[in-house]
Structure 1
């Protein structure tokens, strides 16, 4: 009996110990859950404040805000006297009853909670709309602007003043180059003959200056803006294939922020850099200055209503540029396509940004103004069926008359071929076509029915007096485009343009004139001026 009582007593004691241990575990679990709830509440409060600040930042400011550490974000809140949310509580062993809960489990829970807060801050949207958050966002914007921006702005104003003072000299720069070319025409002549030609050269310079001045003040928006908009839309459609703007950076030979580079690249595709319609630059401020000295820049405050093809500048606290692709006056809203934009995980940012399509109110605070390039008329020709169904080729060496424009263009540009034997000038295929589409030296883009575009330069003119040739081309118009090739490697073979480029096996449906070979244009001006004397 005594043994049984002792056993019962021992069992009771063990039961009490087990119950006590279970109670301790329950209390520890409750305390841990309370700590997690506290962290979740802190998480929600922090996310709400973060959303409120994000809603007051423009896209570029938002990207910089997202790159800040949590501690730096808290600094802006403190500076703006925002009531601080509870700090992330560290769950330590001393605050928990001694239980069977492992320290590893507690550590993993803390890491998981902290990770959740980090993700919540990155993905948060919306906002609370308080004055405190507004002050915090403004404080961050002031930091971005800073004294450095003021310094740069003063420097830009100084450069602008210099450019404006020299504007009249810049207008005659090309004419001076033409005068230099004219001077070379008298090389080898006797000194007496050179003296007699001086008045002629001066007359040529004056006439070229007048022509340059007239060209410089042309005000013609025209439909040429459609070309650069079309190029930008095509690049946006392929944005996922070009993360980080690699091809634009390689073209410009600069690995840096590429929003301005992107617009220059689009302009290059249309021949607008060669025609001095838009600048080739990687600098937003230099782009604005370029248009301002040409009286083609309008501030937002002027009330200017943008058009498709205009450049939009984001310079109030940032430095960014985009292309206006449409404007809805009823909503006072612009649609843009921008390079070096969108969300990016790259460091630096520009290594993982891309081409994006965005909507803004014209009155958006970050917008400073618009540039309206002096686009030319869009010289397009629609090619009806059944024309443009086949291609032919001719040897570049068959052009032998030194007095012909075809010969002079080849000698000026140099007779160069790509690896397949196609003639190349300025990165474009040399072709022959009728004068319906252009003259020798003109840049022509040919659009095919399958959407492909063949970029060419006219190196020869098809004779419409030949049997079977009409205004569209040879073979009764079936052959609109004739490629100029290396006679030595093509003649006597079975080579054909589509054997190298199967994507060209489609009907030619439209031609678009995109400018002309720059050196050739200068030579033609010289020729025209000389004929007037």
Structure 2
């Protein structure tokens, strides 16, 4: 089942052994909140949302130039179309990479829990982060597992706005909310179709896959702007 928004909550429920490389013993991700019929969106408990901005990706976009173009980033994202999660909502390279990354340790400490909790967690933001890492554009794309924190990083660095651009990181609210706290999903913009829709590449959408989609701009909260090479 696809789970679009990873919350900062790490539940202390059932313990399970989850494989990551040689194996990690950690708490399994707990039960999720309200589910949207199409997007299977989970919502963050109010008590823990306030911790979401406590840690940020280390590099600020203006301080870390990259030699990667928007087209290269989109090509890498498109090459992953069809990758699908398993029946438990995990098993993707994106979750496994994030759980073992430095950032995984930082956000687990920020939000509570353990690295292994990411292995079966909502992975749309992990997909965006993975593409940034594997194209060399991480310093501009950022990395986080929580969509709200990812958007706040762009905003805090003066790179958040309302215009769709190829390669920009798009943040969605399915009910059309416009506050960062309303964000439930994230992906990449391929193009503005000029008819009130955008074409996108997203992870953890549909039935838990990487897919190319067409979305109404009415569901967009805003866009993060990596400073790509020309």
TM-score by length of 1: 0.28
- CA distance in structure 2 between the partners assigned to 1:271 and 1:260 by the alignment: 17
Distance 1:231 1:264, change over 3 A: same
- CA distance in structure 2 between the partners assigned to 1:361 and 1:290 by the alignment: 24
Structure number with higher helix proportion: 1
- 1:62 counterpart = 2:49: no
Q: Which residues of structure 2 form unaligned runs of 5+?
A: 1-34, 100-117
Q: Tell me if the contact between 1:338 and 1:356 (Cα under 8 Å) persists in the aligned partners.
A: yes
Q: Tell me if the contact between 2:147 and 2:183 (Cα under 8 Å) persists in the aligned partners.
A: no
Alignment-derived partner of residue 76 in structure 2: 231
Q: 1:251 aligns with which of 93, 97, 102?
A: 97
Q: Secondary structure at the match of 1:250?
A: helix
TM-fit CA distance, 1:324: 0.9
TM-fit CA distance, 1:217: 9.1
Alignment of 1:7-22 (within 5 A): none
- CA distance in structure 2 between the partners assigned to 1:354 and 1:339 by the alignment: 6
Question: After superposition, what is the alpha-carbon deviation per residue over 1:298-332, rounded to whole angstroms, capped at 9, x for unaligned?
Answer: 2xxxxx32111111112445521111111112x02
* Aligned residue-pair number: 166
Distance 1:224 1:374, change over 3 A: same
Q: Which residues of structure 1 form unaligned runs of 5+?
A: 1-59, 66-140, 164-169, 172-211, 299-303, 344-352, 378-533
**In terms of Rg, which structure is larger?**
1
Question: After superposition, what is the alpha-carbon deviation per residue over 1:198-252, rounded to whole angstroms, capped at 9, x for unaligned?
Answer: xxxxxxxxxxxxxx99x5397x9x981111100111111x435x65451111111
- Bigger relative contact order, structure 1 or 2 (CA pairs below 8 A, ≥6 apart): 2
Question: After superposition, what is the alpha-carbon deviation per residue over 1:151-194, rounded to whole angstroms, capped at 9, x for unaligned?
Answer: 555555xx47x98xxxxxx88xxxxxxxxxxxxxxxxxxxxxxx
Alignment-derived partner of residue 154 in structure 2: 291
- CA distance in structure 1 between the partners assigned to 2:50 and 2:200 by the alignment: 29
- CA distance in structure 1 between the partners assigned to 2:169 and 2:142 by the alignment: 12
- CA distance in structure 2 between the partners assigned to 1:245 and 1:339 by the alignment: 13
TM-fit CA distance, 1:61: 1.7
Q: Tell me if the contact between 2:39 and 2:205 (Cα under 8 Å) persists in the aligned partners.
A: no
Q: 1:340 aligns with which of 192, 197, 204?
A: 204
Distance 1:359 1:154, change over 3 A: same
Q: Secondary structure at the match of 2:141?
A: coil
- CA distance in structure 1 between the partners assigned to 2:43 and 2:130 by the alignment: 28
- CA distance in structure 2 between the partners assigned to 1:305 and 1:62 by the alignment: 28
Q: Secondary structure at the match of 1:62?
A: coil
Q: Tell me if the contact between 1:262 and 1:339 (Cα under 8 Å) persists in the aligned partners.
A: yes
- CA distance in structure 2 between the partners assigned to 1:289 and 1:270 by the alignment: 22
- 1:319 counterpart = 2:191: no
